[in-house]
Chains A and B, each alone.
Chain A
Amino acid sequence: MHWYVYEEFLNDKKYAAVLDRIESRLSDLEIKGRVCRLSVLKNLREAVKEAVDQGAETIVAVGSDQIFFKLTAAAAELGVTLGFIPLDNSSLLMKAFGLPLAEKACDVIAQRLVKKIDLGKVNNNYFLDSLSFTGEQVFLEFVGYQISPATSEATLSIKNFGLAALNNSNISLCCPCDGKLEAVIEPLKKTWWGRLKLIGRPSVFPFKKGKIVSVGEPANIIADGQMISRTPGQITIEQEKLKVIVGARRLF
């Protein structure tokens, strides 16, 4: 049974037409299921658990990348397959998973090509795309050695997917099926306009387990765009943890 989660912004009337088209296409494909419309009062994890208890085997996120990221942890923990119908033309997951936009993505859901992908974990919180850090300078400790940015303007991030690469030709997308995370240190410099510009080759360290620590005060840990914890943080990879419906034109 399929279960569709509509992101909050889809409650706006201007999305009624596209949602009608999606529901109509799902009916044609005979994969119509229950719909859950998110609101500020609804706990996403509890809603997913209730759906699984009622027999849902596939959860489909409808909306932007953020709704997919929010569903990742619950889907991984409960062992259900996660699909995505993107409604945002700038969606990076749409490109990475090889999905078309809106109602055309229903066909990919119906074809049900399932791929198992890795998830990162930091302090018991899952992440799909990447970790970044704000605040104090951070460094990464592995068994026997540690790495740190040599200048204060270089930034450290941890990538499982590294979707930002789709908007930056200087860095490449990471493979979320290789059983490794990648610590990436990018040397940056502020331009006249105050923007940060990459000024050299990024450093890349594939790893399976590490610890992020900060110099001085704890730094904020941001996973898939949401602040979830503070340093220090234990970082690990959970191999083939999430089942995702992907298109044939996926990038991994």
Chain B
Amino acid sequence: MFKENPNKTGKNAETIIGQSVKVEGDFVGDGDVVVEGVVIGNLKTQNHLTIGSEAKIQAEIAAGSAFVAGEIIGNVKIGDYLELTATGSIDGDISAGSISIERGAKINGKVSIGGEVTVKNGKKNSVKEVVDEASV
């Protein structure tokens, strides 16, 4: 009886960087960010970051949580949870609250999980603090 109209607008807008787009500079997203294209510079969001399998990123990354299936050249700082799939590769240092790495994923850099990212002065940092502190 109350069928949802398929054209109705969605209010939680997310940023989608598709394959046909190139982003250069210090990108700061408000909501969730999906990357399937090219990003050069810095990439920062307090929410979830999804990096698709075709994405090529040469940037310092800071996000609340992340799913990585593409290629990253640069340091990655994730406040909460980082998921790296078999097609994902990170050439840089990683710091995250927790991590899952699928067989086949490539990492070339220092990995620090837990303490360094989520704990400061004996207290647990919020995701916002981690992203704000990131040097991007």
In whole angstroms, how far apart are the Cα atoms of A200 and B21 in the complex? 11
Interface: A15 (CB within 8 A):
no
Indicate if the CB atoms of B16 and A201 lie closer than 8 Å.
Answer: yes
Cβ of B17 to closest chain A Cβ, rounded Å: 6
Interface positions of B (Cβ within 8 A of A): 5-11, 13-28, 30-31, 36-38, 41
- With A144-B28, A149-B20 as given contacts, are A178 and B37 in contact (CB-CB < 8 Å)? no
A-B contact pairs, 10 of them (CB 8 A): A144-B25, A145-B23, A147-B23, A149-B20, A172-B9, A187-B19, A203-B17, A206-B13, A206-B30, A251-B8
**Interface class of chain B by DSSP:** loop
Partner pick for B27 among A144, A150, A174, A175, CB 8 A cutoff: A144
Q: Which residue of the partner chain A has the closest CB to B25?
A: A145
In whole angstroms, how far apart are the Cα atoms of A141 and B35 in the complex? 18
In whole angstroms, how far apart are the Cα atoms of A149 and B25 in the complex? 15
Chain B residues closer than 8 Å to A173, beta-carbon distance = 7-9
Count of chain A residues with a beta carbon within 8 Å of a chain B beta carbon: 34
Chain A residues closer than 8 Å to B7, beta-carbon distance = 95, 165-166, 172-173, 251
Interface: A100 (CB within 8 A):
no
Chain A residues closer than 8 Å to B38, beta-carbon distance = 150
Indicate if the CB atoms of A203 and B13 lie closer than 8 Å.
Answer: no
In whole angstroms, how far apart are the Cα atoms of A9 and B27 in the complex? 47
Chain A residues closer than 8 Å to B41, beta-carbon distance = 145
